């Protein structure tokens, strides 16, 4: 087996995964929820939702940050960074000690918004108690790059510690950019992924005002329904997911379990609109084609697609059109995870990359939760629904698209 890819770059292995989502902690809990199509949508319980037009989300209810950071440090870390640190720690524990020079180890963490829980809390403190009561930890807690720094500090890794903030594409971009760091031989090991904790009153109000959120207050568990004819917006989620990426030759030499490879990365932008996707999914289609070319694969080798699938009118219509452009008639099965977890904004891409790779390894594609029939504006693609579907083991393509026109596509290839 060659240690280099078709372009002479080091091949990149996935050796560890960690995730905390509204569907549960760890791959097994999330996989079970995906196979069942079990939505985590519930009425919000963490603050008063009575003034809001949208009063539900996909929340994590049983997370204990002190198990990872201890009581004192937990109080000085925003909820999003708590999630991120926990998921990264779980991923590294899953991978085992990579035994690499700390100067050749990196962290690339994505987030769409950053420390929004802290921001809202401290503004309330300032307004109600005055400037002298604002926390001295406010700035480091709020900083979008705090998760990457926290992970690197705890591990003692002195390689690049990067933050990617490309909205809903952030953690997919983080994985892709982490892959580039290994391919260009800057580092040997990367912890890459993303985190988000943005379920606060102002965020819910803002997304609702722009018409992005579902308004199914009477049935939150069925509100997130990617590609469905009755979809009316996404459901906010929270959580984190990280992967450990290593040079394949090093991972093989140390006897690491290898989930698969990050074989292709496509990244581009729509250059069209600050929130709407490009018409007909042109940017998304080009991004998928870039990823396939990077992996030296053709469209007919892809076993299934894990779609961005937000459950919004514009995104699902554009993405389905893009998938059809790339794969044509008889394209691969398409699934989407957000019917289960809601939309975790900057953390969504990493969660979906893990689920996509596991599905490819298992030869089993989870169904799209809450899907009944495709919308009239959804192109004719093969949406998996009702029950999981058996497929042959093959490369998988995972899409992430963000406000601002950010597009990222990952191609992952399973290993035995």
- As annotated, the active-site residues are 168, 308, 343
Per-residue buried b or exposed e for 266-288, using 16+ beta carbons within 10 Å of the residue's own CB: bbbbbeeeebebbeebbbbbbbb
Which token pair is 70?
A: 């201890």
HEC string of 203-252 equals HHHHHHHCCCECCCCCCHHHCCCCCECCCCCECEECEEEEEEEEEHHHHH
Residue 242's φ and ψ, nearest 5 degrees, are -140, 150
Which token pair is 133?
A: 């009561």
The CA-atom distances, in angstroms, between 5 and each of 89, 138, 239 are: 29, 45, 33
Pairing of strands 12-21, 239-247: antiparallel
Helices 201-209, 116-129: axis angle to 10 degrees equals: 110
Pairing of strands 105-110, 161-164: parallel
Looking at the DSSP bridge assignments, the partners of residue 13 are: 246, 261
DSSP string for 186-207: S-SEEEEEEEE---SHHHHHHH
Q: At which residue do the structure tokens 């705890």 appear?
A: 154
Which token pair is 144?
A: 């979008």
Instruction: Please tell me the chain's helix, strand, coil percentages from 3-state DSSP, rounded to the nearest 5.
Output: 40, 20, 40
Pair 204, 44: CB distance under 8 Å: yes
* Residues 112, 348: Cα–Cα separation, whole Å: 10
What are the start-end ranges of the H helices in 75-215? 79-95, 116-129, 138-142, 146-155, 170-183, 201-209
């Amino acid at each position: 087996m060659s240690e280099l890819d078709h372009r002479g770059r080091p091949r990149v292995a996935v050796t560890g995964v960690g995730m905390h989502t509204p569907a549960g902690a760890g791959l097994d809990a999330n996989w079970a929820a995906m196979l069942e199509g079990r939505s985590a949508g519930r009425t919000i319980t963490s603050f008063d939702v009575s003034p809001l037009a949208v009063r539900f989300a996909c929340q994590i209810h049983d997370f204990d940050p002190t198990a990872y950071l201890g009581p004192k440090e937990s109080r000085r870390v925003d909820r999003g960074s708590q999630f991120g640190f926990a998921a990264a720690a779980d991923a590294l524990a899953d991978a085992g000690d990579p035994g690499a020079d700390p100067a050749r180890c990196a962290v690339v963490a994505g987030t769409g918004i950053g420390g929004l829980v802290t921001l809202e809390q401290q503004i309330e403190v300032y307004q109600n108690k005055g400037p002298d009561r604002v926390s001295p930890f406010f700035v480091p807690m709020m900083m979008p790059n705090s998760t990457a720094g926290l992970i690197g500090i705890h591990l003692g890794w002195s390689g690049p510690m990067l933050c990617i903030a490309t909205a809903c594409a952030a953690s997919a971009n983080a994985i892709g950019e982490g892959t580039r760091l290994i391919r260009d031989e800057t580092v040997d090991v990367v912890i890459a992924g993303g985190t988000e904790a943005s379920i606060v009153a102002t965020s819910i109000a803002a997304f609702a005002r722009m018409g992005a959120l579902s308004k199914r207050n009477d049935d939150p568990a069925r509100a997130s329904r990617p590609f469905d004819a009755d979809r009316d917006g996404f459901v906010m989620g929270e959580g984190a997911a990280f992967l450990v990426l290593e040079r394949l030759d090093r991972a093989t030499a140390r006897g690491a379990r290898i989930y698969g490879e990050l074989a292709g990365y496509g990244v581009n932008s729509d250059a069209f609109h600050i929130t709407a996707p490009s018409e007909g999914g042109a940017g998304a289609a080009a991004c998928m084609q870039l990823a396939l070319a990077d992996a030296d694969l053709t469209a007919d080798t892809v076993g299934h697609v894990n779609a961005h699938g937000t459950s919004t009118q514009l995104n699902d219509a554009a993405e389905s059109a893009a998938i059809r452009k790339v794969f044509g008639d008889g394209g691969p099965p398409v699934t989407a995870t957000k019917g289960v977890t809601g939309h975790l904004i900057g953390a969504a891409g990493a969660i979906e990359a893990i689920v996509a790779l596991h599905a490819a390894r298992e030869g089993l594609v989870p169904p799209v939760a809450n899907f009944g029939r495709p919308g009239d504006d959804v192109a004719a693609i093969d949406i998996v629904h009702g029950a999981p579907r058996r497929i042959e083991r093959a490369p998988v393509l995972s899409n992430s698209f963000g406000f601002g026109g950010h597009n990222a596509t990952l191609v992952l290839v399973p290993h035995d």
